[in-house]
Amino acid sequence: MAGINNVNGMSNLFSSMTGTSGTTNSWQNNTLSSLFGNSNSGSKASSGMLGIDFSNYASIKSGSYYKLLKKYYSSNASVDSNSEDVKKYQAKVDRMADASADLSYSLNEVMHADFSTEKRDDLLKNVEKFVEDYNNTVSKAGDSDSKSVLLKAKWMTNMTKEYSNVLSDIGISVGSDNKLKLDTEAFKKADSDTLKGVFGTSPNSFANKVLYKAEQLYSLSKTYGSSATAYTSAGTYKKDQATTANVVDQLL
């Protein structure tokens, strides 16, 4: 009887291993399913005995985290040149961020200045700094690899052109290169109310609208520097493929 029980036990053992289909593959699939989690257990994603959510794992593997790690640890001979590209790219991002930050700061100084005739020399210094920072921002945007940055800067320069008539009344002209030029003598003679209308804190003032775009340019510069779109699937640097020469031509 013991022998019969042993035979039956062995039969049951191999029967359970082969599964209902009688194949080893079926057993392997069932075992792996139990080990790593069954994806058909309901709407909630399941995890295996290691606590790994495999849907998230797949996202990580194909996402920016995977790309950055591969870039960092790659031993490919082309990494050195790609690393130089990344450094150059990041330098452009930093210069754009610095320029737009300076523009935001100088605009705030102008907007909260005294527009009276008695304080005109102090206001002039603030406006001179604004013009310098504005022109620098236009230059750095033209050197950017990001279409988003270029388009925001183009919106800013187009808006400035719309204000060209009132700007000329206070001694500021807009050149064909979209850069500003300040006539100090004309600025000193400008009407205080006109100056306040251009550079005041009103939501519709020229200064407030430029400030809004300067802040957007700063934000775009900082976020684009860490964006996964700056890397290929192999973890190497790539430029914004949407950037086109005609956008730069229209900006500068």
Chain segment 221-245, per-residue pLDDT in tens: 888 655 444 444 444 444 444 333 3
Q: Using N-to-C axis directions, what is the helix angle for 79-111 and 120-142, rounded to 10°?
A: 160
Beta bridge partners of residue 231, listed in sequence order: 237
Instruction: Please provide the size of the chain in residues.
Output: 252
Domain ranges of the chain: 103-251
Half-sphere exposure of 235 (CA within 13 A, CB side): 18
Q: Assign 13 a pLDDT band (cuts: 50, 70, 90).
A: very low
Most confident range, picked from 26-40, 73-87, 94-108: 94-108
Mean pLDDT of the chain: 74
Which pLDDT value is given to residue 234? Answer: 45
Whether the full predicted model's pTM is greater than 0.85, yes or no, is no
Q: Which of 241, 198, 230, 199 is nearest to 90 (CA)?
A: 230
pLDDT digits (tens, 9 = 90+) for 32-84: 444 444 444 444 444 554 555 655 555 555 555 556 656 665 544 444 545 77
DSSP state letters, 99-164:
HHHHHHHHHHHHHTS--SGGGHHHHHHHHHHHHHHHHHHHHHHHT-S-HHHHHHHHHHHHHHHHTH
Query: To which residue do tokens 């591969």 refer?
Result: 70
Q: How many CB atoms lie within 10 A of CB 110?
A: 23
